[in-house]
Amino acid sequence: MNKFDIAVIGGGMVGAAVALGLAKQGRQVVLIEGQQPQDYVDDQAMDIRVSAISHHSVEILQKLGAWQAITQMRVCPYRRLETWEHPDCRTRFSSEELGLEQLGYIIENRLIQLGLWAQFEQYPNLTVICPDSLASLSFGDSVYLTLNSGSQLTAEWVVGADGANSKVRDLAGIGVTAWDYRQHCMLVNVATESEQQDITWQQFHPTGPRSFLPLCGQQASLVWYDTPKRIQQLRMMTDANLRDEIRAHFPEELGDIQVLQHGAFPLTRRHAQSYVKNRCVLVGDSAHTINPLAGQGVNLGFKDVAALLEALEGESMSLALFKHYERNRRGDNLLMQAGMDVFYKGFSNDIVPLKLLRNAALKLADKTGPIKREVLKYALGLENADKRK
């Protein structure tokens, strides 16, 4: 039976980063993933799934050696961010406020994954089993893994990076606190009449926000949050009719568009009741999912990666170290989840006094100076930048 120090289940963005970081520490690592990412070709259509990558996440990707490979594919920097309900009551952020070249990057999830996978061949102590998936776990002094192919292996510890419906979490007996937001999210890639833009924006509506994320060239990713029934109606439309609906319900600054492709998914909040149990450790969406209002999901996952690697650096793996990782990350993840829930609940109604109050708050927030900068630094993962320096 193959023996490893640690088995990582799930080779997406967060799982690949964990596996790579642990291999850099000299550990014997096995990564198990069900599907290899499609290779990049310059003229291929952009993926539906994209992420707004923060400065802190870029820093992690640089340390893992993946950032250069990612930038050689497709990345779209953005320098401005605006959010509003009433057009005259906007909160505006810009990279100039923090003396930065950009606030972050909009990148296709698959390209981040590919950039990380491209580094695997540098580490002979990193074994990749793909395609395959986890079937069962048995626990003792080590963890015994059986894969759906019938292969068996053993590891001292298992990292669950297998997403919101984590099998590792279930097999380890870790419960979750969860609820359904009763909203779905539709992603629409469009061609725009405007040249590539350097701004991402979001307008709130009682049924959910509508967002714009710039992509490379004259393209963008639109995000439409609404009731499941409404999103299903939109999904069933022809591209021409969907375009008309978008033009009618998105802000005028969007301009004319052409629908290229679209998809949708439900919004659910989950938080694991523990991050560590039965020699299994959870990271990313396996540990927590968040309302994607501010695009912080994968950035929280990369913060998990950084905290886990820092806890284990130069140390023999132990329950105490993994518990230290959990204490480090659980509070921050809860804070971000709660913050997104406040936004979601605060704007998901049409009560006039509340509308006046929240629009006044957005307008006031634009004038708060130092407070606004601190909020921006936190969102970009720069809250501890001064300490790191």
Answer yes or no: are the C-beta atoms of 298 and 219 closer than 8 Å: no
Answer yes or no: are the C-beta atoms of 1 and 100 closer than 8 Å: no
Phi, psi values for residue 366, rounded to 5°: -70, -15
Q: d(Cα 34, Cα 12) in Å, to the nearest integer?
A: 10
Q: d(Cα 284, Cα 295) in Å, to the nearest integer?
A: 14
**Greater model confidence, 349 or 247:** 247
pLDDT of residue 386: 46
CA 221, 243, 41 angle in degrees (round to 5)?
40
Q: Where in the chain is the domain with CATH 3.50.50.60?
A: 1-40+109-175+273-348
Candidates 96, 46, 103, 100; CA nearest to 73 is: 46
Least confident interval from 156-170, 209-223, 336-350: 336-350
pLDDT of residue 50: 94
Tell me the CATH class for 181-267. Answer: alpha beta
pLDDT of residue 272: 97
Phi, psi values for residue 282, rounded to 5°: -105, 140
CATH number of 1-40+109-175+273-348: 3.50.50.60
CA 143 to chain centre: 28
51 to 103, 210, 215, 299: CA distances (angstroms): 13, 16, 11, 9
What percent of the chain is modeled with pLDDT above 90? 70
Number of helices followed by number of strands (H, E) in the chain: 12, 19
Going by the DSSP 8-state scheme, the letter that residue 30 receives in this structure is E
Phi, psi values for residue 345, rounded to 5°: -75, -35
Q: d(Cα 51, Cα 67) in Å, to the nearest integer?
A: 15
* pLDDT, tens digit, 9 for 90 and up, residues 315-339: 999 999 999 999 999 999 988 877 7
* pLDDT, tens digit, 9 for 90 and up, residues 271-330: 999 999 999 999 999 999 987 665 667 999 999 999 999 999 999 999 999 999 999 999
* pLDDT, tens digit, 9 for 90 and up, residues 69-108: 999 999 999 999 998 887 887 888 889 888 889 999 999 9
* pLDDT, tens digit, 9 for 90 and up, residues 209-239: 899 999 999 999 999 999 999 999 999 999 9
Q: Where in the chain is the domain with CATH 3.30.9.10?
A: 181-267
**Over 80: is that where the pLDDT of 376 sits?**
no
